[in-house]
Amino acid sequence: MTILDIAGLDVRIAGSHILQGVTFGVAPQGVTALLGRNGVGKTTTLKAILGLLPRGAEVTGDVRFAGAPITRRPTFELVRGGLGYVPEDRGVFAGLTVAENLRLAERPGAAPDYERVYGLFPELQRRGKQRAGTLSGGQQQMLAIGRVLLNPNRLLLIDEPTKGLAPKVVGEVAAALHAVAQVVPMLLVEQNLAVVRRLARDAVVIAAGRVAYTGPATDLLDYTEKTKALLGVGKGHQS
């Protein structure tokens, strides 16, 4: 059983063949980690799923969400259908307050779950009147995740949530994601292997635009030579 299926996904952007026949599935429970060295196409994979690639990108292959083809559906329909997305750059509106950022994320016809968001990130409630652009990087990441969690989701796509954060904040974000993953499945792009070990049940590794590994995350992370070969790091290394 899978909640998301990708088959033969090819992406060309400005003449570069970024994804080459990428095929994998995402389980309907827990966290699937999407791993690989920098520049191999992890973010491109998430954007291809959501229809967020730049104009002129050539995309072929099949993407199915809960069994339904979604390759040519507009992004807003996918989001309303339960695909939540936290981008790598966080994408908060710097000139708006924390409360205004959250209010803009409310979906029509859905009751926003502020209790869950503030339960996971009480800092957001305390800083409701503060402009998002003045928040720390960790606080902005909490806001980016909180916006998605306001609404009901069937799958979360989260891109590099701990990138550039202080170790203490990494722990707070990882703890929140762990709590969320108990009720909503997640496809997670993450470079910090300690976080991957804590959160992920399954792993997919992309190398040179192709899938090089699919299987249990522990089978990958516990095998030092395989981890070095596919990711360029040793067991337990954080990057």
Domain of 11, CATH number, reads 3.40.50.300
Structure confidence at residue 166 (pLDDT): 92
**Domain hosting residue 196, numbered range:** 1-82+182-239
Structure confidence at residue 89 (pLDDT): 86
Interval 135-173: pLDDT, tens: 999 999 999 999 999 999 999 999 999 999 999 999 999
DSSP string of 30-82, one letter each residue = SEEEEE-STTSSHHHHHHHHHT-SPTT-EEEEEEEETTEE-TTS-HHHHHHTT
For all residues of the chain together, what is the average pLDDT? Answer: 93
Report field, pTM of the whole predicted structure over 0.85: yes
Structure confidence at residue 233 (pLDDT): 63
Interval 55-111: pLDDT, tens: 999 999 999 999 999 998 999 999 999 999 999 988 899 999 999 999 999 988 889
In a domain, 100, yes or no: no
In a domain, 76, yes or no: yes
Q: Band the pLDDT of 188: cuts 50, 70, 90.
A: very high
pLDDT at 26 over 80: yes
Structure confidence at residue 226 (pLDDT): 82
- The mean per-residue pLDDT over the stretch 15-22 comes to 96
In a domain, 72, yes or no: yes
In a domain, 114, yes or no: no
- Number of domains forming the structure of the chain: 1
Q: Which residues contact 2 (CB under 8 A, 6 or more apart)?
A: 25, 26, 27, 28
